[in-house]
Amino acid sequence: MNKRDFLRTLGGGLSLALLPRTLFAAAATPGALPEIRLIAAWRSLHELGRDGASHGAKAEGGTDYVGILATDWQQGVARIETAVAVPDRVHGLLPDRDGGFLVCANRPGPWLMRCAADGEVLARQALADENSGRTLNGHAVFDPAGEWLYTTESETGSTQGWIAVRRRDSLRKEAEFSTRGIEPHELLFDAEGKLVVANGGILRAPGDRKRDLDRMDSSLVRLDPTSGERLGQWWLKDKRLSLRHLALGATPAVGARALVGVALQAEHDDPAERAAAPILAVWNGDTLEIPSRETVGAGYCGDIATGMDGGFYLSAERSHRVTRWHPAAPERLEVIAELNKAGALAEFPLEGTHASLIGSPRGLGFWHPQRDPVLLRWAVEIAPDNHWTVVRA
């Protein structure tokens, strides 16, 4: 049985694909993989204790959890280390500086929560208590010092975008400023310490239903994180492409500028046009461009993560693929994995480059340009959500 046949068998009919390594050095002799711990959100049909142990199956529906997953390479499984039941679906997750994590409810999000590594809830903030008439848009980011939390929010009804600046310990809002757009989604700090925000640009009706897509106004905006001053704003020519998720590229060579990758979501009326739409835009600090028109993602990128040498990994849940983009070959999106509902991505520095950790109902996929791909099965049947992130030491 060859490697690809073995992976198809392991993945239940799907595979982690290997690509030519033309952009990389010769493969190094692989050593043992370190244990990797991931902050994740998932839905389970099983009732789980705080230690992740199963306590039977629910008769219907499922329960949403957040917590920490850990790899067990020897046993070939990914186990649940910490599980905290939550009342709503979770979207954005952040590692906290003390080893715990920050949880942001899915859009339109009613709450934030900060937990210790063992699942103890340290702080909780309900937006209804603020009387602001706003909801969370699923993402948050800590400032580089880890002291302040920035959340993307929308006004109910108008979808006008705001950034709230919150205390790390209590999650209480201390300041706010406009995103200069509507429906802001993910945000990050760039290499120069400025705030970059993806305004998704989609108007929303009650129940989070999309409306008036012909009036979409999606943009990337760069803001001063202290004053909220707009430092620059960029739009794509195709107004039906919504800018959603962001990743900061790895530090490039001296004198070059770190790129920001932007995951795109197509909202065209014509299904064929939507399926043929690009899934990646790249911002270099001066311009926002679409480098590749390849249609491997079916017009929808669910997550994006830092790749090797300034590039990015992208997941395309609707086409069940994970691709990589590299600035040395900007017109290409290379498929590195085919995995049912491939969604959450995280990068893990390993052997001088970046491995990709891929979430799927099938299991946890591991891909590295100098190693064989691996698929770990779930110790308990779960369906991971769109995002996860590595627990940093």
pLDDT per residue rounded down to tens, the chain (393 residues): 333 432 333 333 345 543 333 222 223 334 688 899 999 999 986 665 655 555 454 534 569 999 999 999 999 999 999 999 999 999 999 999 988 999 999 999 999 999 999 999 999 999 999 988 999 999 999 999 999 999 999 998 788 999 999 999 999 999 999 999 999 999 999 999 999 999 999 999 888 889 999 999 999 999 999 999 999 999 999 999 999 999 999 876 656 778 999 999 999 999 999 999 999 999 999 999 999 999 999 999 999 999 877 899 999 999 999 999 999 999 999 999 999 999 999 998 888 888 999 999 999 999 998 899 999 999 999 999 999 999 975
- Residue 240 has a CB neighbour count (10 Å cut-off) of 20
Separation CA 263–CA 282 (nearest Å)? 9
Residue 62 near residue 85 (C-beta atoms within 8 A)? no
pTM across the whole model: 0.90
pLDDT value, residue 393: 59
As separate numbers, helices (DSSP H) first and strands (DSSP E) second, the chain gives 2, 32
The DSSP letter of residue 249 is P
Interacting residues of 209 by C-beta distance below 8 A, sequence separation 6+: none
Q: Give the pairing of strands 374-378 and 363-367.
A: antiparallel
pLDDT value, residue 15: 53
pLDDT value, residue 200: 97
Query: In a 3-state reduction of DSSP, which class is residue 256?
Result: coil
Residue 24 near residue 334 (C-beta atoms within 8 A)? no
Separation CA 380–CA 83 (nearest Å)? 12
Nearest to 152 by CA among 85, 289, 245: 245
Amino acid at 252: P
Phi, psi of 4 (to 5 degrees): -65, -40
Nearest to 149 by CA among 163, 135, 159, 132: 163
Separation CA 164–CA 152 (nearest Å)? 7
CA distances from 374 to 74, 108, 193 (A): 11, 35, 36
Question: Which pair of tokens denotes residue 254?
Answer: 């001296």
- Say if domain 36-390 classifies as CATH 2.40.50.140: no
Q: Which residues of 149-188 are buried (b: 16+ CB within 10 A; e: fewer)?
A: bbbbbbeeeebbbbbbbbebeebebeebbebbbbbbbbbb
CA distances from 172 to 84, 90, 223, 224, 293 (A): 22, 19, 21, 21, 43
Nearest to 387 by CA among 103, 41, 108, 85: 41
pLDDT value, residue 103: 96
The residue whose two tokens read 């993989």 is 33
- Residue 251 has a CB neighbour count (10 Å cut-off) of 12
Residue 357 near residue 366 (C-beta atoms within 8 A)? yes
pLDDT value, residue 239: 97
Separation CA 148–CA 35 (nearest Å)? 30
